[in-house]
Amino acid sequence: MLLTLVIIYLLITVAIGLYAATRVKSSADFAVAGRSLPLIMIVTTTFATWFGSETVLGISARFVQGGLNSVVEDPFGASMCLVLVGLFFAYRLYNMTLITIGDFYRKRFGPGIEVFCSIIIMISYLGWVAAQITALGLVFNLVSGGAVTAQGGMVLGTLIVLLYTVFGGMFSVAWTDFMQMLIIIVGLIAIAVMAAGLAGGADKVLALAQNENWFRFWPEPKAHDVVFFFAAGITIMLGSIPQQDVFQRVMSAKDADTARKGPIIGGLSYLAFAFVPMFIVASSILIMPDEAKKLLADDPQKVLPTLIMGHMPLAAQVLFFGALISAIMSTASATLLAPSTTFVENILKHLVPNMGDKQLLRALRISLIGFAALVLSYSLLMQGTSIYELVSSAYQVTLVGAFVPLAFGLYWKRATTQGAVMSIALGIGVWLMFFPQLTNWGTAFPGQLAGLLAALVGMVAGSLGPQLMRNRHAKHELVGLKT
Largest Cα–Cα separation, the chain? 95
- pLDDT band for position 476 (50/70/90)? low
The per-residue pLDDT for range 103-148, each reduced to its tens digit, is 999 999 999 999 999 999 998 888 778 888 888 888 888 888 888 8
- Highest mean pLDDT, choosing among 182-186, 212-216, 314-318, 471-475: 212-216
Look over the chain and give the mean of its residue pLDDT values, rounded to a whole number: 89
- pLDDT band for position 280 (50/70/90)? very high
Among 375, 380, 376, 314, residue whose Cα is nearest residue 6: 314
Query: CA-based angle 460:462:463, to the nearest 5?
Result: 65
233-253 in b/e form (b: 16+ CB < 10 A) is: ebbbbbbbbbbbbbbbbbbbb
Among 250, 267, 245, 263, residue whose Cα is nearest residue 122: 245
Share of the chain above pLDDT 70, in %: 95
Burial of 437 (0-12, 13-18, 19+ CB in 10 A): exposed
- pLDDT band for position 314 (50/70/90)? confident
The per-residue pLDDT for range 169-226, each reduced to its tens digit, is 888 888 888 888 888 888 899 999 999 999 999 999 999 999 999 999 999 999 999 9
Query: CA-based angle 8:324:80, to the nearest 5?
Result: 140
Among 208, 272, 222, residue whose Cα is nearest residue 55: 272
Among 337, 420, 57, residue whose Cα is nearest residue 171: 337
* pTM of the entire predicted model: 0.89
Q: Where are the alpha helices (DSSP H) in 23-149?
A: 27-32, 39-50, 53, 60-66, 78-84, 90-94, 101-109, 111-143
- pLDDT band for position 391 (50/70/90)? low
Among 324, 343, 335, residue whose Cα is nearest residue 128: 335
The per-residue pLDDT for range 56-66, each reduced to its tens digit, is 888 888 898 88
Task: For residue 273, report the phi and psi dihedrals to the nearest 5 degrees.
Answer: -80, -15
Mean pLDDT of 376-404: 80
Is 385's pLDDT higher than 80? no
Strand partners, 37: 253
Alpha-carbon separation of residue 470 from 142, 444, 456, 476 (angstroms): 66, 40, 22, 10
Burial of 222 (0-12, 13-18, 19+ CB in 10 A): exposed
* AA identity, residue 398: T
- pLDDT band for position 390 (50/70/90)? low
What is the reported pLDDT for 114? 96
Mean pLDDT of 32-37: 86
Which residues does 159 contact at the CB level (< 8 Å), separation at least 6? none
